[in-house]
Structure 1
Amino acid sequence: MRHGARVVFPPGWWGFTLRTWAALLLSLLVAFWTQIESPASAAVTVMLLAQPLRGQALSKAFYRVVGTLIGGVVALCLISMFGQERQILLGGCAIWMAICAYVGTLRRGFRAYGALLSGYVVALIAIAHIDAPQNAFHVTIARVSTVMIGVASIATVALLSGTPHVWPRLVRGLQKVAAEARHETHLALDDTTPTLTSLETIALSSTVFSLAHQVHDTRTELTKGRLRAKGAQVCLIGMVTALSCCRSLLFLMRHATINPAVMALTRSDIHAPSGTDRTTIMTDLLDRLPADTPRLTRADAWRLERTASLIASRHSSRKGLNTLLKAAPLGKVKAMSQFAFHPDRVAAFINAIRVLFCFSVAAALFIGSGQPNASTALSQCAMLLCLGVTQPNSATFGRGILVGTPLGIITAGITSFLILPHTSTVPSMAIIMLLQVTISCLLIMNPATAAMGSHYAPFFFVFLGLNNHHDYNFLSFVDRNTFYLCAAGITAFFLIKFIPPQPRQTRFRITLSIANELERQFSSRSPAFTPALLSRKYDRLHQLYTLSRTISEASKGKAAWRICERFISLADLTTALARLELDLKTARQYPELAQLAETTQKDMSHMELFSLAEHLSLMAEKMLSQVSSSSKPAYVVAVLCAAGLEEVRFLLQENKSALRHYGIGRRRW
């Protein structure tokens, strides 16, 4: 019983409802007081911006303002150039919307929303007034004004009320995952069997990376928000890198024998120098090896390097979290704040084509009909297309439109003809709005009804036709909403049936990008080893894990997880090659290592892949043989290079069948 109540009434729903209601009333009061054209647009803005957390609301409001201004300028340019040419004007709007859909697919969070918004604002201004282009400037000013009223209302309520913040939730999420990651790293360093398998380690990394979307929202809540957001990014990269080191240590535990002296040195209770990087920690570890320690083996070097990387990653993670909490300087770990996401350009192009085609068909149907409200319906269709086409599951969004539109029209009809005629005071209107906002917020906060609620909540006021002088004409209401219903049906049909995103297709593109990056690495054309390369890798793996879980739940088999594990290992090989290339570049700076490093780099670039695996072990042994006659810095770099060579050798052997199966690096077979 209690669980059912929590599903219907999620935690925080009442506060969210009251804040949204207050912002809605404020926007309507200002819009009616200023006698602005179409005050319903201010209410629509408030309901579109309604978010349970302060940072989310403020961030979305900011990008709504930016998107509206850009869209307004583009609309004025199109109308001024092609106001007398309907076909060219519609074509220009379609192309602009397709461009915005492309950009919106490549962006994340509310930046994507801003890009999409600038697309459909053109439709709301240019197409809705295609028969009266002389009014375009006044319409643009009115729309921007209503958006500003809605944004100001949301921002005022968010800042003056007790709206929950994003950043405490982000901190709690980071601390919770950090505790679990710290436990696993302790087990890995202690050579104790970890409680997580390799795939479960990726699941934990995916949980860490899923917090990335909250990072940008914290910037609007905190002083020195940019610095603190960078700290959160450093913390995320540090944690997922530490978990990656855990996977390597798990492989070592299963497949190699480590010198007891090295094992004792790299236990979890090691006290590393504070504020250091991997090279400094490795220097400290090598200095603390007992004098009677036998010559390091390749596995010993790999263990030492992964331990140093793990400790450095944990340090940067703690440093980043401290920056998020206290705005402390990041220092040397600032470079790790380079954050990059995987750009799915194929999906972006497909979404652009979907918008272009669907809008063109809708324009032919609506504008060709010659009906008075057809242009308004086409504008509604354009808005729904832009909002729905970039959704991860556009079919679910389309079904939400099919349910939310008739529900909103029915509710608007009841409100317009049965309730509003008996309402003559502001308090009674406020009570009516409270009931409407309560229903909307409950629909939005419930995951099962979120798609329906995101359509019902804002467009209720469009269906109602709320204006300075409300129209109670029933035939006008039916005529207007018939076109809105048609627009919803056409849009939902295209979102559900026309090239909807499929998990298997998206997974194919992710795995193809992993294979292509490894191919470029084999050809020495891959980007350098940087935090941006790491974050892009972890974003791919996060998406791959999420898609594999979805496919596995649908197919009830383990094949999806086997593919996931295979490409995780291939992604690890890519980063291992990039890291080794960086270490060899450093080694070439030392005279005693320069020739060997140069030879190794040439062999890495030109030898046959399956002969290279055996050759790498010889090169690693040569690197370790240089240790005794090298200076201290060269000694450390030689061990790092030997560790990298051993890691690449192991991963090449591990992925030999996968490379042949997928045809990766075929030119070097």
Structure 2
Amino acid sequence: MPGRAFFLMQAPLAMMSRLRVAAGSIFPPGWWSFTLRIWAALVLALLVAFWAQIDSPASAAVTVMLLAQPLRGQALSKAFYRVVGTLVGGVVALCLVSMFGQERQLLLGGCAVWMAICAYAGTLRRGFRAYGAVLSGYVVALIAISHIDAPQNAFDVTVARVSTVMIGVAAIATVALLSGTPHVWQRLVRSLQKTAAEVRHETRLALDDTVPTLSPLETIALSSTVFALTHQVHDTRTELTRSRLRAKGAQVCLIGMVTALSCCRSLLALMRQATIAPAVLALTRFDIHAPSGTDRETILADLLGRLPPEAPRLTLADAWRLERTASLIASRHISRKGLNTLLKAAPLGQVKTMSRFAFHPDRIAALVNAIRVLLCFSAAAALFIGSGLPNAATALSQCAMLLCLGITQPNSAAFGRGILIGTPLGILTAGLTSFFILPHVNTMMGMAIVMLFQVMFSCLLIINPATAAAGSHYGAFFFVFLGLNNHHDYNLLAFVDRNTFYLCAAGITAFFLILFLPPRPRRTRFRITLSIARELERQFAARSPSFTPALLSRKYDRLHQLYMLSQTISQEKKGKAAWRVCQRFISLADLTTALARLELDLKTARQYTELAPLADTMQRSLTRMKLFSLADHLPLMAEKMLSRAPASSGPAHVAAVLCAAGLEEVRFLLQQNGSALRHYGIGRRRW
């Protein structure tokens, strides 16, 4: 009986716990405050639009809903690029109308080409810069095409369009600044501090060979988590004083962490493949007494000076271990310095060059997206304009807007499915609101209460990742479907006629987004791996850029994308082949950076007279010798360089050890990837 009573008491508690978990998944933390902020901005925008008698107050509401972001920096950054994109698109629309106002075909062709150019640029950009690029494309359609039969009104339409956008932007910015909206930079700092603690823990384990640590693939997973924070860095510029310096500090912190994890991978490989001298292990096993500074050469000189005099001569594995340890410690110092700059705007000093980010440009995907926009818009124009119906131009402009927004999405098919769900839902809700609720609303207060429930449902959809695509479309275009105006029209036939075209535009756009050349994870992975192979080819031919932060950031961006794509493919195929491909190309990317770093170290060694002849010989061998002969010849070259180290002066000694370590790392990676080089045909000219 006592046990049964205890069970009966625990059952309601367990049910309440399950209900709380379910409610947390449906109503995420911060949902209610996010809803109230967007509702306040929406009401403010409508008040100003109605007071100013703007021709289309619904556009101000659409702007607010399109700028709905949970964090202040995100909302302000997106608002800035919406203003820039609207102004650029308005100017281009006026130019096209002034040149081709009497020629429909040329006007439509000019709009299609401009939209394709904007889609190309938007695919190459990241974050809200991409949004600004595609926005300038579809604004041309909204101005030029929707009034294709009345080109004389283009200037008035442009002014009205810009006015409504400015009203919406001002409303969202006012609420964001006055309502205590959470900051992007605070979330970024918390994420960086949490990730930095994980990286610091793993680097300590990597230095201690007696403790099991992460596998190479798990270090890439952590690197991917680090690099995923880059999209938040740019948004912090709208929140902070001295924002440019602080954003650079965040970038330096990210580069430092992913470089430290790269050193961990090398140390793990070295631990499995070679035997390290006990004196070197004792010196590098713990970094509690790591020397201060962020310079790899200074730290390595300090480590070499701490070796006991009775220690045996360094082996190649010892040199590699010392160099990777020095790089790891330097990377951690760089990461801490970058985080300190983000928090306190402290000067970056010598590590300022580490903030020069470069992302991987997928120009093939950009070209494909431009072609998709060009062909899809042309087909939709032939269908709508060819029909000759009154609202066809408006539907075509809606189709153009959805095409530009959807095609540049990483998963345009999911965006298309969101359109298929959001459009009918928005039209249905707009019909119920227009004919059953608004006739009983006579004041702005009543309108605000009605809009509150609409915004609650929209924000609930937007803030949940599974329904974000449908929610963003439903929430933004509800006011377009409603036809909200200064004098609301309750004509049922006009409502049905208008929204029939919007429904057709949504269906046609979704068809193109889902079925016409949608991005596939395997195709994108192929392009990423091809870019890694080409970078390695250029390195073999001595035509690759030198070892710079831009080269590093581009590499880590590729590896981040490769890891995420491999994760998606493995979930679809439920196999391990995707992870094997991922590991292979991670190793090839490491070979590229190892060659670039070795080239930089040899260039430094040529500055010393005792090392210059040998460094020149090694550089010629690296660029001319057959690859698989080079793998056998590298240990001899490394031993020669290492033999020069004890007889050299302090800086030359360090340079000799760095070159020997680099040669040993390149030798190891060449032997490890020999089968991959043959299989993929990389460096064929030097076989």
Q: TM-score range by the shorter chain?
A: over 0.9
User: Structure 2 residue aligned with 1:435, among 436, 453, 460?
Assistant: 453
Aligned to 2:114: 96
Shift in Å at residue 175 of structure 1?
A: 1.1
Could you tell me whether the CA contact under 8 Å between 2:293 and 2:299 is conserved in 1?
A: no
Deviation per residue, 1:174-210 (Å, 9 max, x gap): 1111111111110111223443111001000000001
Aligned to 2:618: 600
Could you tell me how far apart the structure 2 residues matched to 1:184 and 1:628 are? Answer: 33
Aligned to 1:221: 239
Could you tell me whether the CA contact under 8 Å between 2:425 and 2:474 is conserved in 1?
A: yes
User: Structure 2 residue aligned with 1:357, among 360, 372, 375?
Assistant: 375
Deviation per residue, 1:28-63 (Å, 9 max, x gap): 000000001101000000000010000000000000
Structure 1 segments (4+ residues) deviating >4 Å: none
Matched residue pairs, number?
Answer: 669
Aligned to 2:417: 399
Aligned to 1:271: 289
Could you tell me how far apart the structure 2 residues matched to 1:105 and 1:428 are? Answer: 42
1:376-395 to structure 2, matched below 5 A, reads 376-395=394-413
Shift in Å at residue 289 of structure 1?
A: 1.1
Aligned to 1:212: 230
The amino acid across from 1:436 in the alignment is Q
Could you tell me how far apart the structure 1 residues matched to 2:538 and 2:342 are? Answer: 36
Deviation per residue, 1:473-513 (Å, 9 max, x gap): 11000110000000000000000000000000000000000
Could you tell me how far apart the structure 2 residues matched to 1:584 and 1:403 are? Answer: 60
User: Structure 2 residue aligned with 1:311, among 322, 329, 335?
Assistant: 329
The amino acid across from 1:379 in the alignment is S
Could you tell me how far apart the structure 1 residues matched to 2:134 and 2:406 are? Answer: 10
User: Structure 1 residue aligned with 2:488, among 461, 465, 470?
Assistant: 470
Shift in Å at residue 102 of structure 1?
A: 0.4
> Are 1:570 and 2:595 matched, yes or no?
no
Deviation per residue, 1:272-319 (Å, 9 max, x gap): 332331011111111111111111110011001000100000000000
Shift in Å at residue 333 of structure 1?
A: 0.9
Shift in Å at residue 629 of structure 1?
A: 2.0
Could you tell me how far apart the structure 1 residues matched to 2:306 and 2:140 are? Answer: 67
Could you tell me how far apart the structure 2 residues matched to 1:297 and 1:303 are? Answer: 10
Could you tell me whether the CA contact under 8 Å between 1:97 and 1:119 is conserved in 2?
A: yes
Shift in Å at residue 105 of structure 1?
A: 0.4
Aligned to 1:136: 154
Could you tell me whether the CA contact under 8 Å between 1:184 and 1:194 is conserved in 2?
A: no
Deviation per residue, 1:569-613 (Å, 9 max, x gap): 000000000000000111111111111011000000010000001
Aligned to 2:169: 151
- What's the TM-score, normalizing by structure 2? 0.97
Could you tell me how far apart the structure 1 residues matched to 2:289 and 2:114 are? Answer: 58
Deviation per residue, 1:380-406 (Å, 9 max, x gap): 000000000011111111011001001
Between 1:289-298 and 1:55-64, the stretch displaced more is 289-298
Could you tell me how far apart the structure 2 residues matched to 1:285 and 1:404 are? Answer: 62
User: Structure 2 residue aligned with 1:192, among 199, 210, 217?
Assistant: 210
Deviation per residue, 1:82-108 (Å, 9 max, x gap): 111110110000000000000000000
> Are 1:347 and 2:365 matched, yes or no?
yes
Between 1:371-380 and 1:189-198, the stretch displaced more is 189-198
SS at match of 2:77: helix
User: Structure 2 residue aligned with 1:480, among 473, 481, 498?
Assistant: 498
1:174-185 to structure 2, matched below 5 A, reads 174-185=192-203
The amino acid across from 2:235 in the alignment is D
> Are 1:660 and 2:678 matched, yes or no?
yes
Aligned to 1:123: 141
1:424-463 to structure 2, matched below 5 A, reads 424-463=442-481
Could you tell me how far apart the structure 2 residues matched to 1:279 and 1:62 are? Answer: 43
Could you tell me how far apart the structure 2 residues matched to 1:237 and 1:95 are? Answer: 38
SS at match of 1:222: coil
- What's the TM-score, normalizing by structure 1? 0.99
> Are 1:645 and 2:658 matched, yes or no?
no
> Are 1:322 and 2:340 matched, yes or no?
yes
SS at match of 1:75: helix
Aligned to 2:9: none
SS at match of 1:629: coil
User: Structure 1 residue aligned with 2:252, among 234, 243, 247?
Assistant: 234
The amino acid across from 2:236 in the alignment is T
Could you tell me how far apart the structure 2 residues matched to 1:299 and 1:122 are? Answer: 62
Shift in Å at residue 11 of structure 1?
A: 0.6
Could you tell me how far apart the structure 1 residues matched to 2:59 and 2:446 are? Answer: 21
SS at match of 1:527: coil
Could you tell me how far apart the structure 2 residues matched to 1:633 and 1:450 are? Answer: 57
Shift in Å at residue 76 of structure 1?
A: 0.6
Aligned to 1:334: 352
CA RMSD of aligned residues (A): 0.7
Could you tell me how far apart the structure 2 residues matched to 1:432 and 1:270 are? Answer: 62
The amino acid across from 1:355 in the alignment is V
Could you tell me whether the CA contact under 8 Å between 2:121 and 2:366 is conserved in 1?
A: yes
The amino acid across from 2:552 in the alignment is L
> Identical aligned pairs, as a percentage?
83
Aligned to 2:10: none
The amino acid across from 1:554 in the alignment is E
Could you tell me whether the CA contact under 8 Å between 2:595 and 2:666 is conserved in 1?
A: yes
Shift in Å at residue 270 of structure 1?
A: 4.2
Could you tell me whether the CA contact under 8 Å between 1:579 and 1:644 is conserved in 2?
A: yes
Could you tell me how far apart the structure 1 residues matched to 2:371 and 2:270 are? Answer: 48
Could you tell me whether the CA contact under 8 Å between 1:604 and 1:612 is conserved in 2?
A: yes
SS at match of 2:611: helix
Shift in Å at residue 269 of structure 1?
A: 3.2
SS at match of 2:610: helix
Shift in Å at residue 360 of structure 1?
A: 0.2
Could you tell me whether the CA contact under 8 Å between 1:583 and 1:637 is conserved in 2?
A: yes
> Are 1:27 and 2:54 matched, yes or no?
no
> Are 1:294 and 2:312 matched, yes or no?
yes
Contiguous gaps of at least 5 residues in structure 2: 1-18
Aligned to 1:582: 600
SS at match of 2:169: helix
Could you tell me how far apart the structure 1 residues matched to 2:212 and 2:86 are? Answer: 52
Could you tell me how far apart the structure 1 residues matched to 2:443 and 2:88 are? Answer: 38
Could you tell me how far apart the structure 2 residues matched to 1:495 and 1:146 are? Answer: 29
The amino acid across from 1:128 in the alignment is S
The amino acid across from 1:362 in the alignment is A
Could you tell me how far apart the structure 2 residues matched to 1:35 and 1:168 are? Answer: 40
Could you tell me how far apart the structure 2 residues matched to 1:17 and 1:270 are? Answer: 48
Could you tell me how far apart the structure 2 residues matched to 1:263 and 1:220 are? Answer: 47
Could you tell me how far apart the structure 1 residues matched to 2:350 and 2:654 are? Answer: 20
Deviation per residue, 1:145-183 (Å, 9 max, x gap): 100000000000000001011111111111111111111
The amino acid across from 1:211 in the alignment is L
The amino acid across from 2:364 in the alignment is V
Contiguous gaps of at least 5 residues in structure 1: none
Could you tell me how far apart the structure 2 residues matched to 1:477 and 1:178 are? Answer: 56
